[in-house]
């Protein structure tokens, strides 16, 4: 393919719709004041929109490109692992949702850092939390920009740079002008488009392979190990555990997930969102990874022959789908990239504006006018987006691994701080500081050194170190209080 306009036009139409939605939201009034409206949608999200924005939070371009690519190589073992994530949204809203919402409303919190500062009464911890959010979100956004632009180039035939420019303009503009409400509404559109894209691709993969039975027969004959849970050692128990931690249990404390608990309208909406979101996540995770496995039975060659794991889905789309439908099918995974970037961008912006700048001004006794906050919030959101865009111009490889690194860093920094902070009375700020600072440094060091005890991802090192440091720091501070 070389510059296929038929593929490009539907994508341009989708992007134009996202921009129009951002402009529409910009013209609406913000319930509860500008900050609440811009950063958490005025706490007015209904059940369906809340569920869809949670779905979009967990559906990144790596999930739609790198994940199925790994399934293409490993087989059904990767699908078994994907099932683990299906209950995560249920846990986020069920465990953290009510607790976070009630506390946020009581203390008028707008961000997750507001909650941490209130619980631990520590500006140092709040500043560290804001710093961690910005750094790891930057890495995550770079991965999403790169993945989306690479997919754009592979399927449309246009350049990587053109795809990057289009993504940059659309995401930065609609997120900057519309804030969280625009993110939530575009997430809803993106989630619907993702599901339609998966259904389309699934249908044409089955058609190209002669049906499910024929594809499975091909796999059984050529790659029987792909039908087993361990894939002849390529999907060991250590990988199951690592993935359960990275994209399962620990994701309940991701800042972009927890902030959804601040945004819903009522408990009834939250309960309905738990059911809707869990069903949709289950469908999308299982279906998209099944497409990867079945794709191996259709194409027959290994991932290296297609250009690597990240190239599997683009190549599969190009080979099995009619050219006139490629433009619609590509919107699904690109929508995942767009929604993920916008979601983390607005949280990163809130960390800078609300948690650092505004708090510092309030500490000095200065009042910041709403007009200034409006301009600053939009400016910071746009600036962060532009910085990440520039970093993505020279694309790194293995976007899936970069995204997992960012996930692991955020989980190490926030998991124990939030779990113990919200559900215990004995947690102390010394423990929280030690866990967030020390645990995150240890995690990064383990990643840099490639340290994988028992074959586990370095997240196991980071989360364990964070736990030990939290308990030790809290015990030390409580001992001083008793002395």
Phi, psi of 10 (to 5 degrees): -60, -35
pLDDT of residue 1: 46
Contact residues for 266 (Cβ-Cβ < 8 A; gap 6+)? none
Q: What angle do CA 403, 405, 411 make, to 5 degrees?
A: 105
pLDDT of residue 175: 80
- Beta partners for residue 45, in sequence order: 264
Q: Is residue 397's pLDDT more than 60?
A: no
Taken in order 236, 237, 238, 242, the sign of the CA dihedral is: positive
Contact residues for 181 (Cβ-Cβ < 8 A; gap 6+)? 25, 28, 37, 41, 42
Q: Which residue has the higher pLDDT, 231 or 210?
A: 210
pLDDT of residue 468: 97
pLDDT class for 21, splitting at 50, 70, 90? confident
Q: Which residue has the higher pLDDT, 302 or 63?
A: 302
Q: Residues 283-303: what's their mean pLDDT? A: 86
Q: What angle do CA 266, 340, 246 make, to 5 degrees?
A: 90
Q: Is residue 18's pLDDT more than 90?
A: no
Please report where in the chains the tokens 């609300």 appear, as a residue. 354
Q: Is residue 396's pLDDT more than 60?
A: no
pLDDT of residue 328: 78
The rounded mean pLDDT for the chain is 81
For residue 134, how many other CB atoms are within 10 A of its CB?
19
Q: Is residue 266's pLDDT more than 90?
A: no
Check if the beta carbon of residue 82 is closer than 8 Å to that of residue 250.
Answer: no
Q: How many Cα atoms occupy the beta-carbon half-sphere of 356 within 13 Å?
A: 18
Cα 342 to the center of its chain, rounded Å: 10
pTM (predicted TM-score): 0.80
Q: Is residue 61's pLDDT more than 60?
A: no
Give the gyration radius of the chain's Cα atoms: 22
Q: Is residue 91's pLDDT more than 90?
A: no
Phi, psi of 45 (to 5 degrees): -70, 135
Check if the beta carbon of residue 278 is closer than 8 Å to that of residue 83.
Answer: no
Percent of the chain whose predicted confidence (pLDDT) is above 70: 88
pLDDT class for 441, splitting at 50, 70, 90? very high
Check if the beta carbon of residue 71 is closer than 8 Å to that of residue 292.
Answer: yes
């Amino acid at each position: 393919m070389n510059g296929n306009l038929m593929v490009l036009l539907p994508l341009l139409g989708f992007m134009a719709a996202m921009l129009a939605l951002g402009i529409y939201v910009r013209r609406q009034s913000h319930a509860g004041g500008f900050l609440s409206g811009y950063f958490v949608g005025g706490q007015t999200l209904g059940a369906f929109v809340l569920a869809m924005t949670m779905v979009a939070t967990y559906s990144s371009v790596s999930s739609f490109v790198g994940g199925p690519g790994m399934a293409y190589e490993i087989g059904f073992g990767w699908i078994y692992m994907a099932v683990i994530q299906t209950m995560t949204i249920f846990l986020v809203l069920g465990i953290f949702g009510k607790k976070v919402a009630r506390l946020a409303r009581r203390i008028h919190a707008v961000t997750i850092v507001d909650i941490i500062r209130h619980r631990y009464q520590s500006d140092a911890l709040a500043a560290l939390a804001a710093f961690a959010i910005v750094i790891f979100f930057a890495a995550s956004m770079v991965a999403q920009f790169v993945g989306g632009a690479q997919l754009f180039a592979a399927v449309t035939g246009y350049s990587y740079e053109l795809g990057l420019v289009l993504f940059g303009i659309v995401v930065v503009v609609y997120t900057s002008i519309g804030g969280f409400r625009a993110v939530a509404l575009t997430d809803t559109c993106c989630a619907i488009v993702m599901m339609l894209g998966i259904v389309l691709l699934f249908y044409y993969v089955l058609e190209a392979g002669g049906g499910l039975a024929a594809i499975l027969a091909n796999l059984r004959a050529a790659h029987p190990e792909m039908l087993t849970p361990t894939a002849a050692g390529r999907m060991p128990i250590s990988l199951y555990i690592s993935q359960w931690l990275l994209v399962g249990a620990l994701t309940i404390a991701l800042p972009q997930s927890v902030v959804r608990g601040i945004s819903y309208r009522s408990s009834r909406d939250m309960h309905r969102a738990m059911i809707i979101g869990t069903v949709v996540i289950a469908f999308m995770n299982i279906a998209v990874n099944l497409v990867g496995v079945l794709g191996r039975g259709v194409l027959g060659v290994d991932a290296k022959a297609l250009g690597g794991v990240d190239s599997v889905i683009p190549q599969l789309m190009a080979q099995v789908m009619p050219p006139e439908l490629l433009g619609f099918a590509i919107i699904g995974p690109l929508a995942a990239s767009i929604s993920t970037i916008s979601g983390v961008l607005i949280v990163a912006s809130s960390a800078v504006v609300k948690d650092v700048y505004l708090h510092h001004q309030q500490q000095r006794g200065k009042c910041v006018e709403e007009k200034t906050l409006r301009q600053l919030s939009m400016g910071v959101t746009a600036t962060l987006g532009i910085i990440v865009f520039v970093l993505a111009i020279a694309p790194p490889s293995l976007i899936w691994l970069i995204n997992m690194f960012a996930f692991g860093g955020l989980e190490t920094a926030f998991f124990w701080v939030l779990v113990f902070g919200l559900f215990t009375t004995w947690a102390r700020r010394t423990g929280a500081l030690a866990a967030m600072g020390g645990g995150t440094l240890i995690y990064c060091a383990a990643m840099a050194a490639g340290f994988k005890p028992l074959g586990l991802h370095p997240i196991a090192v980071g989360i364990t170190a964070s736990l030990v440091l939290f308990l030790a720091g809290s015990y030390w501070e409580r001992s001083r209080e008793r002395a």
